[in-house]
Amino acid sequence: MRDKRTDLAAAVAAVADGAVVALGGNTLHRGPCAAVHELVRQGKRGLEIVKTAGAYDVDLLCATGCAAAVSAGFVGFETAYGMAPGYRRAVESGAVEAREHACATVIAGLRAAIQGVPFMPVAGLTGSDLPAARGFRAVADPYGGGEVFVVPAIVPDVAFLHVQEADRFGNGRIAGTLFEDVLMAKAAKRVVLTAERIVDGAGFAEEPAAVAIPALLVDAVVEAPGGAWPLGCAGCYEPDAAYLAAYTRAAKDPAALAAFVAERVLGQVGAQAR
């Protein structure tokens, strides 16, 4: 297994405009924000963002013109900070297409990609306008069990995942909830791990079951302390409430948002400081 350590700028430079980008984590927790900030800094365009439930990460990529589409079940800042202003404005203006999913259909699409099949059946969705709005088709069960909705494979060009600990080969350990990170690691063509710390990893061999993301699936690993900030990272830090409140306030107005991004997002990149 080869040493896959690199820096964030190089790992992000390989992302083409128009790429399908999966982001690990969920709402205010363990999103790969250092990588997202670098996507913003490098001025990527036309990205399709894949996530079950996003918040700051998805919102910022919409607000800064990086995203052209969002395939997600939910985009919002939960109870504390409310709706996602950048996402909302970008969708309402037509700049971003809201490819709304049930979270379960994001999972189904990733599962199809993982299993190398073109589509995945998914239970439910009956009575919802989503299948019609999103073009999800139903197929007949050839074994006589009626019809079931199927979702096309979601194959991310790249998945950015932030983990607490990795070794230089890209074996990643996650503390707390896994979210959809493991599915994304398996479904994506390319996987970039950012890690709070890169460790020697000799101890990993004593506890191989503790590795959530096997190095086999990983193409690049980047040491990025604070790499989920301003979101939380279990066992390391909580969401940065003051920053998120300031962001959601600023993001309601394009000019205020531009100033906020220049000062507090782009100003942070490289330093990866909190």
Partner 1 sequence: MSGDAPAPEHDPAVMMAAALSRLLRDGETVFHGVASPLPMVATLLAKRTHAPDLVYLGIAGGTDPEPRRLPDGSTVDPVLLEGSRSLLTLADLFDLSARGRLDVAFLSGVQIDGAGRINMSAIGDFARPKVRLPGGAGSAALMPTAKRVILWRTKHDPRVFVDRLDFVTAAGNVDRVVTPLCVFVRRDGRLEVESLHPGVTPGELRAATGFAVEVGPGTPRTPPPTAAELAALRAVDPGEVFRSEFR
Partner residues linked to 8 by β-bridges: none
114 binds partner 1 (CB under 8 A): yes
Alpha carbon distance 65, 244 (integer Å) = 19
Residues in region 14-73 near partner 1 by CB under 8 A:
26-29, 52-53, 72-73
Q: How far is the CB of 117 from a copy of itself (least distance, A)?
A: 4
118 binds a copy of itself (CB under 8 A): yes
Altogether, the residues listed in the chain come to a count of 274
Chosen residue from 133, 258, 259, 266 binding partner 1 by CB under 8 A: 133
Residue 169 site contact among a copy of itself, partner 1, none (CB < 5 to 8 Å, cut-off depends on kind): partner 1
Report H helices in the chain. Answer: 8-13, 33-41, 56-63, 78-81, 85-92, 103-114, 130-134, 181-187, 241-250, 254-260
73 binds a copy of itself (CB under 8 A): no
Which tokens go with 22?
Answer: 């999966």
56-63 and 85-92 helices, crossing angle to 10°: 40
Q: How far is the CB of 210 from a copy of itself (least distance, A)?
A: 7
126 binds a copy of itself (CB under 8 A): no
C-alpha distances in angstroms, 112 versus 25, 154, 175, 274? Answer: 20, 7, 26, 37
The region of 5-13, 110-118, 220-228, 264-272 touching partner 1 under the rule CB under 8 A is: 110-118
Do 214 and 181 contact (CB within 8 A), yes or no? no
Residues in region 92-111 near a copy of itself by CB under 8 A:
108
Q: Give 38-52 as a DSSP string.
A: HHHHTT--SEEEEEE
Do 266 and 60 contact (CB within 8 A), yes or no? no
11 binds partner 1 (CB under 8 A): no
Chosen residue from 64, 68, 160, 171 binding partner 1 by CB under 8 A: 171
Residues in region 210-249 near a copy of itself by CB under 8 A:
210
Alpha carbon distance 272, 213 (integer Å) = 23
Q: How far is the CB of 108 from partner 1 (least distance, A)?
A: 9
Q: How far is the CB of 143 from partner 1 (least distance, A)?
A: 17
Residues in region 148-177 near a copy of itself by CB under 8 A:
148, 150, 152
Question: For residues 21 and 213, which CB has a smaller minimum distance to partner 1 in the complex?
Answer: 213
Residue 137 site contact among a copy of itself, partner 1, none (CB < 5 to 8 Å, cut-off depends on kind): a copy of itself
164 binds partner 1 (CB under 8 A): no
Question: For residues 129 and 144, which CB has a smaller minimum distance to partner 1 in the complex?
Answer: 129
Which residues, in sequence order, are CB contacts of 195 under 8 Å at separation 6+? 162, 163, 164, 165, 166, 172, 221, 222, 223, 224, 227
In the complex, the residues that contact a copy of itself under the rule CB under 8 A are 108, 112, 115-123, 137, 139-143, 145-146, 148, 150, 152, 209-210
